[in-house]
Amino acid sequence: METILEVNNVIKQFGGFTALSEVNLHVNKGERLGLIGPNGSGKTTLINCISGAYTDYQGSIRFDGGDITLLKAHERTKRGIARSFQIPRPFSSMTVMENLLVPFAFVGGKDGPEQQKEAMAILQGMGLAEKAFVQSNQLSQVELRKMELARAMAAKPKLLISDEAMAGLSGTEVDEVLDILFDLNKLGITIIMIEHIMQAVMKFSQRVVCLDAGKIICEGTPENIVKNPEVQRAYLGD
C-alpha cells in the first residue's frame, strides 16, 4: 500500500521532559488509524508535530511524498493536512456558512458562488445544511463538532486528524459523528482518530497505535490491541 505519512525518529522535549521519544509511524493512503494512550502519553504532542503546531522537534516527517519537517502549520494545511480540535472555537459572530468560507478562502484564495456551493455540499454531508445561515453560537454541542469537521473539510484535506471529536457526546451523537467519518473515508480521505471512547476507536479503526510515556508500545488490529497486556498495563497500571 502507498504511504501518505511517515514520522521518522521524532523526539520532542519540553525543557528536560521528553514528551516523544524516537517515534516512528507510517500511515497508508486511505487508512483509518486510531491513536490511543492514557493522558500524558504524547498523543497530542505527536499530532502537534504532524500538523505543524510544533516544528522544534528532532527527526523528520514526510507527507504525500514530500518532506514537511520544516513547514509551518499553514503550509502543511495547504499540502493537505487538516485537523479538527477537541474544543471547537468557531467565529461565534459568524454564521455556519461564513465559518466554512474562511478556510475556503485560505486554501483557494477565493470567496464566491462556487465556494459557497462547495461549502453547502460539505454542510449537507454533515447534516448541517439547515443550519447554514444560523449563527454558530446557537449550535448544540454535537452540531459544533460537526461544524468543526466541516471546517477541516473545507481545507480539502488528504489527511484529516480528528482530535477527540466525540468527547462529551451521547451514544447516539457519537454514532452520528462516526457515520460522518466513515463517509469522509469513503471519499478517499485518510483519517487519524484520537479518541478516549475506546468503543468508537475500535469500531472505526483498521489499525490502532498505542502510545505510552512518549513511545509507541504496540500497534495492530483493534481485536489484537484490546487483548494486548501492554495496553492493559498502560491504561490500568500493573
pLDDT of the residue at 63: 98
Model pLDDT for residues 12-41, shown as the tens digit of each residue: 999 999 999 999 999 999 999 999 998 889
Confidence category of residue 101, pLDDT binned at 50, 70, 90: confident
Architecture in CATH for domain 3-88+156-236 = 3-Layer(aba) Sandwich (3.40)
pLDDT of the residue at 107: 65
Model pLDDT for residues 72-94, shown as the tens digit of each residue: 999 999 999 999 876 667 777 78
pLDDT of the residue at 228: 86
Which is higher by pLDDT, 199 or 68?
68
Residue 7 confidence (pLDDT) above 60: yes
Q: Is the pTM of this model over 0.85?
A: yes
Which is higher by pLDDT, 50 or 145?
50
Give dist(CA 210, CA 21) in Å, integer. 14
Which is higher by pLDDT, 155 or 106?
155
Residue 237 confidence (pLDDT) above 70: no
pLDDT of the residue at 69: 97
Q: What is the mean pLDDT of residues 112-133?
A: 87
Residue percentage of the chain with pLDDT more than 90: 59
pLDDT of the residue at 87: 65
